[in-house]
Amino acid sequence: MSRSVLITGGSRGIGLAIARRLEAAGDRVAVTYRTGEPPEGLLAVECDITDAAQVDAAFRKVEAEHGPVEVLIANAGVTRDALLLRMSEGDFASVLDTNLTGAFRVVKRATRGMLRAKKGRVVLISSAVALRGESGQANYAASKAGLVGLARSVARELGSRGITCNVVAPGLTETAMSSGLSDEQRANLVEQIPLARLASPEEIAAAVAFLASEEAGYITGAVVPVDGGAGMGH
Ligand code: NDP
> For residue 62, what is the domain's CATH number?
3.40.50.720
Q: Is residue 231 in a domain?
A: no
Q: Each residue of 14-59: pLDDT tens digit? A: 999 999 999 999 999 999 999 988 999 999 999 999 999 999 999 9
User: Quick one: pLDDT at residue 181?
Assistant: 87
Cα→Cα distances 7→23, 28, 86, 196, 203, Å? 11, 11, 33, 29, 17
Q: Is residue 15 in a domain?
A: yes
Q: Is residue 233 in a domain?
A: no
Q: Is residue 151 in a domain?
A: yes
User: Quick one: pLDDT at residue 233?
Assistant: 86
CB burial readout 54-81, b (16+ within 10 A) else e: bbeebbebbbeebebbbbbbbbbbbbbb
Q: Is residue 32 in a domain?
A: yes
> Residues 6 or more apart from 15 whose CB is under 8 A from it?
7, 8, 9, 31, 73, 75, 76, 125
Q: How many domains does the chain have?
A: 1
* Whole-prediction pTM: 0.98
| CA 120–ligand 1 middle distance (angstroms) | 23
- Our answer to whether residue 33 is catalytic in this structure is no
Q: Each residue of 177-227: pLDDT tens digit? A: 888 889 998 999 999 999 999 999 999 999 999 999 999 999 999 999 999
ipTM (interface pTM): 0.99
Q: Each residue of 49-108: pLDDT tens digit? A: 999 999 999 999 999 999 999 999 999 999 999 999 999 999 999 999 999 999 999 999
Helix crossing, 138-158 with 102-117: angle to 10°?
20
User: Quick one: pLDDT at residue 234?
Assistant: 80
| CA 82–ligand 1 middle distance (angstroms) | 18
Nearest CA to ligand 1 atom 33: 77
Q: Is residue 232 in a domain?
A: no
Q: Is residue 171 in a domain?
A: yes
The answer to whether the CB of 175 is under 6 A from ligand 1 is: yes
Domain that holds residue 113: 4-225
